[in-house]
Amino acid sequence: MNAMDKITRANWQPYCLPLRQPWQTAKAEFSQRRGWLIQLHDEAGHVGLGDCAPLPEAGTESWQQAETQLAERLPLFRRAEPELLLAELDACQPTPAARCGLEMALVDLLAQQKNISVAKWLNADARDSVAVNQNAGTLTKILSSGQHYQSGIVKLKVGLEAVAEELAQLRTLVQRYPDLRFRLDANQAWNPAEAEQFIRACAALPSASIESIEEPLMDPGVNSSLDSLADLQTLAAFPLALDESLVSLETSRWLSSLSLRRVVLKPMREGGILRVKELAEAAQSAAIECVLTTTVDSAVGVMASLHLAAALTCGETDLVHGLATSDWLAEDLGPVLPVSYGRIYLPDGAGFGIDPDQITLV
């Protein structure tokens, strides 16, 4: 490395992005996303961008813990080499959102220094686009909106009303949109009897109507979540997925499960895109699907996840990821990439391909 590769400035600035409408799950509701934009400048004029946006409801550290970590570590970045800093980030492991933001900025900077995209930096065979699902909110919202949905996968929040009521709504949706597949997220809403009732009814719907169900069980617990999910999985051909349960599960336990078919990984919760890449590759070896999604991140955070997804989906399998989340934000830090026929195409340019001059703090 030469001196041109070293960091000259390390800035972090707070932001607050309002949502178009509250984000509602069975356990929580929020109406804004707060975080920090991290900017790392090197002597060659490159600017690496990172997004640190803690969301304790999703399994990250608190706002105060993330702020403390950034305040302690970023002053140490000046005059340091990005590769060496990247190797030292494991010290941030108890604060995954802070680690994610710092890693994101370092990876963006390193890829720019090599004049390649982050996706290609992660995997030389990375694709140039990522398949994504549509987001429709709740069953009530999609039924009342009258919005036209393209064919493909639509994600919906369930577990917000009585099981019988939501099943009736779901049957109506399947009849109204026969070309759609529904990815349902219960956010640990149901007890075992309710989960069984819902899954049995979904299994009886027309073939392929239900793409998957995420987190059907209420407070599954460290010792019982995999066994309970395995029992439910026998009721349906579509996969049941773990998401927030992963926070309390040892990685080795879910990787060794013979019945687990899918996990949902979030860079902000897992501690960065490199950590998610490591988990996803291990899961792939164990025949477990990995869907990437965001914690309703800013344009910078979403872009990082898109590059990661492009680097992971390099074989014949083109899994649909939950990365088209920017529409939830009424304001954003930068331009949002459009969805074209169910795909988001990565921008040209090195690093994340984001022009720092187009970033606006809110």
Mean pLDDT within 256-283: 96
Quickly state the pLDDT bin for 314 (edges 50, 70, 90): low
Q: Is the pLDDT of residue 216 over 90?
A: yes
Quick one: 66 and 21 in the same domain? yes
- The average pLDDT across 90-99 equals 89
pLDDT band at 92 (very low <50, low <70, confident <90, very high): confident
Per-residue pLDDT band for 93 (boundaries 50, 70, 90) equals confident
CB 351 within 8 A of CB 273: no
Residue type, position 225, single letter: S
What's residue 23's pLDDT? Answer: 81
Q: What is the pLDDT of residue 317?
A: 65
Whether the per-residue pLDDT at 358 is higher than 80: the answer is: yes
Structural domain for 66, as ranges: 3-115
pLDDT in tens, 321-344: 999 999 999 999 999 999 999 999
Note the pLDDT of residue 153. 96
Q: Is residue 27 pLDDT above 50, yes or no?
A: yes
Segment 140-168 mean pLDDT: 91
Q: What is the pTM of this model?
A: 0.94
For residue 291, tell me if it sits in a domain. yes
Confidence of residue 246 (pLDDT cuts 50, 70, 90): very high
The pLDDT, as a whole number, for residue 207 is 82
Q: From residue 316, how far is each of 76, 312, 313 by CA, in Å?
A: 43, 11, 8
Burial of 86 (0-12, 13-18, 19+ CB in 10 A): middle
190, part of any domain: yes
Residue 290 has pLDDT above 70, yes or no: yes
Q: Is residue 121 part of a domain?
A: no
pLDDT for the residue 308: 98
Q: Is residue 123 part of a domain?
A: no
Characterize the bridge pairing of strands 47-52 and 210-214: unpaired
Q: What integer is the mean pLDDT of 258-262?
A: 93
- CA 139 from chain centre, in angstroms, equals 21
Query: Last residue of a domain, which of 58, 85, 115?
Result: 115
- pLDDT beyond 70 at 4: no
Burial 222-235 (b: 16+ CB within 10 A, else e): eeebbebbeebbee
Rounded mean pLDDT, 140-154: 85
8 A C-beta contact, residue 94 and residue 270: no
Span 8-28, average pLDDT: 89
Mean per-residue pLDDT of the chain = 93
Residue from 41, 11, 12, 17 nearest 31 by CA: 17
User: What pLDDT, on a 0 to 100 scale, did the predictor assign at position 154?
Assistant: 96
pLDDT in tens, 34-74: 999 999 999 999 999 999 999 998 999 999 999 999 999 99
Q: Are residues 170 and 199 in the same domain?
A: yes
What is the percent of the chain with per-residue pLDDT over 70, rounded to a whole number? 95
Q: Are 102 and 133 in a shared domain?
A: no
Token pair in block for residue 157: 């929040």
Q: Which of 72, 91, 115 is the last residue of a domain?
A: 115
Residues near 1 by beta carbon (within 8 Å), at least 6 away in sequence = 81, 83
- Number of domains the chain contains: 2
Residue 76's domain is classified under what CATH number?
3.30.390.10
- What number of other Cβ atoms are within 10 A of residue 76's Cβ? 12
In this predicted structure, the answer to whether residue 212 has a pLDDT above a threshold of 90 is: yes
CA dist 214 → 2, 122, 246, 292 (Å): 48, 28, 12, 13
| Predicted confidence (pLDDT) at residue 304 exceeds the cutoff of 90 | yes
Same domain, 17 and 111: yes
Pair (151, 300) in one structural domain: yes
Please report which confidence band the pLDDT of residue 1 belongs to, taking 50, 70 and 90 as the band edges.
very low
pLDDT of residue 350: 98
- Secondary structure of residue 291 in the 3-state scheme: strand
Residues 67 and 147 in one domain: no
pLDDT tens-digit map of 217-245: 986 555 467 888 999 999 999 999 999 99
Domain C-terminal end among 87, 115, 143 = 115
Q: Which residues, in sequence order, are bridge partners of residue 14?
A: 36
Using the predicted structure, report yes or no on whether residue 3 has a pLDDT greater than 60.
no
